[in-house]
Amino acid sequence: MQNKKISLIGAGQIGGTLAHLAAIKELGDVVLFDLVAGLAKGKALDIAQSSAIDGFNTSLMGTDNYVDTANSDVIIITAGVPRKPGMTRDDLLSTNLKIIKQVADGIKDTSPNAFVICITNPLDVIVMALQKYSGIPENKVIGMAGVLDTSRYKYFLSQELNVPISEIDAFVLGGHGDTMVPFPNKTFISGKPLSKYIENGKISHQRLEEIINRTRSGGAEVVKLLETGSAFYAPAASGIEMAESYLKDQKKVLPCAAYLNGQYGQNNIYAGVPVKIGSGGIEEVIEVSLDEDEKKNFDVSINAVKELLDAAKKIDPNLE
């Protein structure tokens, strides 16, 4: 059987980590693409040189030519500029819109059947632009956000409650910005609702609120510490989980930025919702029932995405 092919557009911090994880997990042949050819080639060679030690058998190459990415099964895009301290994800809009147009032009004819995962920020608007620019069907173009946001939320809760992270069942939906929506009423720890932990005094309402806010600014906290770039280990791990579910038809339900066509009362917009990822791409958008408060918070988040989308349409009227 022919190996699967995974192309990573952008060989920076996240791209390099994606390549390393994909290689170690032997998900398929890995192609690292970057405008800076040496960066892509150097990282591919460096990772390949660790294969004898880690015992993986993965072909890796670096390139600045889209022809080398042709017929990819999965494409993960991180091309763009990351945040600097004090910048929001939204500040990246005009630069990353131009970059994503170039990427869409590079992949649309060479890999029209790929499952395309976008990580470049501001996520919800960039993934929508990517879908429109590339014409790749909506069920094959997805954004990575909720997996990461949920992982941060679970981590902070596990630290606070001193429970293993694997015991926490939770998700974060909405846009990948300051208005993202963790759902405390739908959070379970070892099968018990989080509200029981509040009742038992294990965590106060105020601490929970602080954790929710820390989740919302989880990326900014890392940006501030790093000073020279944004998070990359956790974003890469999140992208790989989505790619693996597609490549192995695992049909995992993961919170991702997906195209909404009536679901959650929204039309023609990308936003974070739970989706089932299998060999058909996004096989289902799962509609969880939201109580009044949750719906209000979700709508606030969607409205923030819409505002940014309007700003994007002003920059490029073709996005209408």
Which amino acids are annotated catalytic? 176
CB closer to ligand APR out of 60 and 285? 60
Widest distance between CA atoms in the chain:
59
Concatenating the DSSP letter of every residue in 150-174 gives HHHHHHHHHHHHT--GGGEE--EEB
Amino acid at 294: E
Min separation Cβ 100 and ligand APR, Å: 8
**How far is 256 from 96, CA to CA, in rounded Å?**
20
CB closer to ligand APR out of 120 and 266? 120
**Contact criterion met (CB below 8 Å) for 124 and 256:** no
Min separation Cβ 166 and ligand APR, Å: 25
Alpha helices in the chain (DSSP H): 13-24, 37-48, 51-54, 93-107, 123-134, 146-161, 194-199, 205-216, 218-226, 233-247, 292-315
Min separation Cβ 36 and ligand APR, Å: 5
Min separation Cβ 148 and ligand APR, Å: 9
**Contact criterion met (CB below 8 Å) for 270 and 128:** yes
The residue sitting closest to ligand APR, measured at its beta carbon, is 12
DSSP 3-state assignment of 70? coil
Name the site residues for ligand APR (rule: CB under 6 A): 9-15, 34-36, 39, 78-80, 82-83, 92, 96, 99, 102-103, 119-121, 229-230, 232, 235
Min separation Cβ 46 and ligand APR, Å: 15
CB closer to ligand APR out of 203 and 222? 222
**Contact criterion met (CB below 8 Å) for 158 and 168:** yes
CB closer to ligand APR out of 35 and 300? 35
CB closer to ligand APR out of 40 and 290? 40
- Of 281, 277, 286, which is closest to residue 241 (Cα–Cα)? 277
User: In Å, what is the CA distance from 132 to each residue of 75, 274, 316?
Assistant: 16, 22, 12
